[in-house]
Amino acid sequence: MLRWWSTVLYVPGLYITGFLLSRPLAWAAPAWRPDQVDLAGVSLSFALLLATLPWRLRTAWGATQPWRTLGLAVSPGQALAGIAMGLTKAIALLLLVSLALLFSQQARWQGATDAGLLANALLLACGVGLAEELLFRGWLWGELRLRLNGQRALLAQALVFGLVHPWYREPGLLALSLLGALTLLGVVLARERELGKGALWGPAALHGGLVGGWFLLQNGLLTVSAQAPGWWAGPSGMTSGTNPLGGAIGWLGLLGLLLYQQRRGHSLGR
């Protein structure tokens, strides 16, 4: 029971610490907006995670090479191969979503972008992709595998990944559809790490590519109709912009990607 509590409280404890440490910024830098102070708190929390993860893995997991165990310290060739595969799959999924929206006349191609948007998309891809994969497919999945069998641990990390995202802000059944899609994405990202022989760079590139790529698409390249049905294009009720994962297009894309991963895994296992 004590081990379970250490798992449950570890990351929330770091988040609360980062939040508290960032509060004086509101007084020291009055020009900062509340969301900027909150972002500083998240950044501090992530810095604390990076600083304490080696200790956590050595003491709780018995790992002698923490960063290798987490899937970050791999050969350059393995990292580059994982990044290439992850980005290719992200582009394929985004292409499917874009074409489906365009051919169903639920979106218009604008093709407008600039250096600022490209930089924001790149920062978002790198930041969210690496940070969330280190947290969920790195630390959390590893912690759960110490307590549960392989398949249950995989499904549990995917469910937690889905639950911590703001799916609950959407109305009715679209909220459940988005939660299911986020959980399915958690499974896909875990399978991607398995295909990469434990390296975290593949799922980080896939995850980051989806986040950064969709940001770029909906901020100049593509305009999704406000009348686009949520069951098809994805919910857009209370979040910023449309989230294609919660619609039929996103579900079909994720299921297709999972099927490809399953077949790829079987062929590699022969």
Structure confidence by residue, pLDDT tens digits, 4-52: 788 889 999 999 999 999 888 878 888 888 888 888 899 999 999 999 9
- Find all residues with CB under 8 Å of 203, minimum gap 6, and list them: 82, 86, 133, 137, 189, 190, 192, 193, 196
What is the spatial distance between Cα 256 and Cα 249, in angstroms, rounded to a whole number? Answer: 11
Structure confidence by residue, pLDDT tens digits, 233-263: 988 754 556 789 999 999 999 999 999 999 9
pTM of structure: 0.93
* CB-CB contact of 188 with 97 (8 Å): no
Q: What's 201-269 look like in SS3?
A: HHHHHHHHHHHHHHHHHHHHHEEECCCCCHHHHCCCCCCCCCCHHHCHHHHHHHHHHHHHHHHHHHHHH
The Cβ-side half-sphere exposure at 123, using a 13 Å CA radius, reads 6
